[in-house]
C-alpha cells in the first residue's frame, strides 16, 4: 500500500497551496457574472429533458452531450484556472445537477481514484451557477479527511466512512458558495450534499484537473480479490469515453489497461477515531433535528 507523497505544487499562491494541503479544499472567486450566464445558457441548451434527482453529465449515455459540455466548460474555465494554477492539465469539464426532489440527495462519500495518488493529487473545481442555501443541496466537506488514510476508491470498493456515515455529518463544514465561487477540493476529501428541496434546479460545473505529469488511473474490486484491488491505466479522455457511469458502474472496467492486483487493507474510520480527530461530542439525533427546525 502506498504512503502520501509531498504534494506537487499546482497553485500559484503559496497560501492557497498550504491551505489546500492542510484542509483538502479552498474557496476562491472563479467565474465572472458573464461566464455564469454563458454556462447557464449552455446547460439549458444541452441538458436531457428527462433527467431527475442527482445527475452528472458524465452519466449521460449521449456522448455528444458529454463531449460538448466537456469542451465548453474547459474553454470557459481556462481564464480563471490560469489565474490560480501552474503546472496543471485539465482532464474533464462536466455539469453536476440536482433537480428538485428528495431523490437528489448525495450520500457521504469520496470521489473515485483517478490518478496514481502515491505521486499525484486529483482535484475538482466545483462551482455553483446559483447561490447555495440550506435547501438547495449545499456542499459539505470534512476538513482534513483527505489525509486520514491512503485509499483506493471506486463504486465497487468499500469506503473508509461506511461505518460512521451518520456520525460524520455533524463534523462537516458547510460551504455556502455564491454563484461563480469555486471550491477546489481533493478527490479523496469526504463530502456530502442534502437533497435539493427548493423550486430551482441546482446547476454546478465541475472541472477535474491534476499535475501536468500525472497519468490517469482507476481502481476496481470484487470479493474474489480478497485484500487486493485491480488498477487500470486509462487515457486522459476517460471521463468522456467511459460508458459505464450511471448504469453498469459496478462491472469491471471495459476500457483501459489492467496493471494487475495490488495489496489493500480496506481501512475504516471508527467512531473513536472520528471523536479523537474532530474533537467534539456528537449531538443526539433528536437534538440535531430540533436545532435544524429552529435555525
Chain segment 223-280, per-residue pLDDT in tens:
999 999 999 999 988 888 887 786 778 899 999 999 999 999 999 999 999 999 997 6
CATH number at residue 171: 2.60.120.620
How far, in Å, are 35, 94, 126, 292, 293 from residue 180 at the CA level? 8, 15, 10, 27, 29
Judge whether 9 lies within some domain.
Answer: no
Is 293 part of a structural domain of the chain? no
Mean pLDDT of the 4-8 span: 92
Domain count for the chain: 1
Grid cell listed for 65: 452531450
Whether the CB-CB separation of 201 and 122 falls below 8 Å is answered with no
Q: Decide if 172 is inside a domain.
A: yes
**Residue 292: inside a domain, yes or no?**
no
Rounded-to-integer distance, Cα 154 and Cα 151, Å: 10
Query: Can you state the percent helix, strand and coil of the chain, rounding each to 5?
Result: 30, 25, 45
Domain enclosing residue 190, as ranges: 14-281
pLDDT of 293 higher than 60: no
How many CB atoms neighbour CB 283 within 10 A?
12
Q: Is the pTM of this model over 0.85?
A: yes
Do 114 and 208 contact (CB within 8 A), yes or no? yes
DSSP string, 108-172: EE-PPP-B-TTT--EEEEEEESS---TTBT-EEE-TTGGGSS-----TTSPPTTTTSHHHHGGGP
Residue pLDDT, tens place only, 112-147 = 999 999 999 999 999 999 999 999 999 999 999 999
User: What are 159-209's pLDDT values in tens digits?
Assistant: 999 999 999 999 999 999 999 999 999 999 999 999 999 999 999 999 999
- Residue 207 domain-assigned (yes or no): yes
The C-alpha angle 244, 69, 124, rounded to 5 degrees, equals 75
pLDDT digits (tens, 9 = 90+) for 97-107: 999 999 999 99
Residue 145 resides in a domain: yes
Amino acid at each position: 500500500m502506498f504512503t502520501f507523497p509531498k504534494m506537487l505544487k499546482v497553485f500559484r499562491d503559496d497560501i492557497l497551496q498550504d491551505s489546500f494541503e492542510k484542509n483538502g479544499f479552498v474557496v476562491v472567486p472563479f467565474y465572472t457574472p458573464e461566464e455564469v450566464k454563458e454556462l447557464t445558457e449552455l446547460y439549458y441548451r444541452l441538458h436531457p429533458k428527462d433527467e431527475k434527482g442527482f445527475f452528472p453529465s458524465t452519466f449521460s449515455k449521449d456522448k455528444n452531450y458529454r463531449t460538448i459540455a466537456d469542451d465548453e466548460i474547459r474553454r470557459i474555465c481556462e481564464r480563471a484556472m490560469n489565474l490560480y494554477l501552474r503546472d496543471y492539465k485539465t482532464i474533464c469539464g462536466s455539469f453536476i445537477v440536482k433537480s428538485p426532489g428528495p431523490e437528489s440527495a448525495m450520500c457521504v462519500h469520496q470521489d473515485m481514484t483517478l490518478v496514481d495518488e502515491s505521486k499525484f493529487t486529483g482535484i475538482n473545481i466545483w462551482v455553483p451557477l446559483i447561490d447555495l442555501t440550506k435547501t438547495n443541496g449545499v456542499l459539505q466537506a470534512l476538513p482534513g479527511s483527505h489525509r486520514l488514510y491512503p485509499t483506493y476508491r471506486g463504486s465497487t470498493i468499500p469506503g473508509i466512512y461506511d461505518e460512521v456515515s451518520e456520525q460524520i455529518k455533524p463534523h462537516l463544514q458547510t460551504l455556502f458558495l455564491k454563484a461563480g465561487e469555486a471550491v477546489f477540493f481533493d478527490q479523496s476529501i469526504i463530502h456530502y450534499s442534502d437533497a435539493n428541496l427548493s423550486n430551482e434546479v441546482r446547476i454546478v460545473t465541475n472541472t477535474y484537473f491534476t499535475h501536468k505529469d500525472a497519468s490517469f488511473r482507476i481502481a476496481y474490486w470484487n470479493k474474489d480479490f480478497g485484500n487486493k484491488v485491480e488498477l487500470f491505466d486509462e487515457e486522459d479522455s476517460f471521463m468522456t469515453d467511459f460508458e459505464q457511469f450511471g448504469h453498469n458502474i459496478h462491472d469491471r472496467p471495459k476500457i483501459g489497461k489492467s496493471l494487475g492486483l495490488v495489496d489493500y487493507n480496506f481501512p475504516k474510520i471508527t467512531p473513536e477515531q472520528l471523536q479523537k480527530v474532530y474533537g467534539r461530542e456528537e449531538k443526539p439525533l433528536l437534538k440535531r433535528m430540533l436545532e435544524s427546525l429552529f435555525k
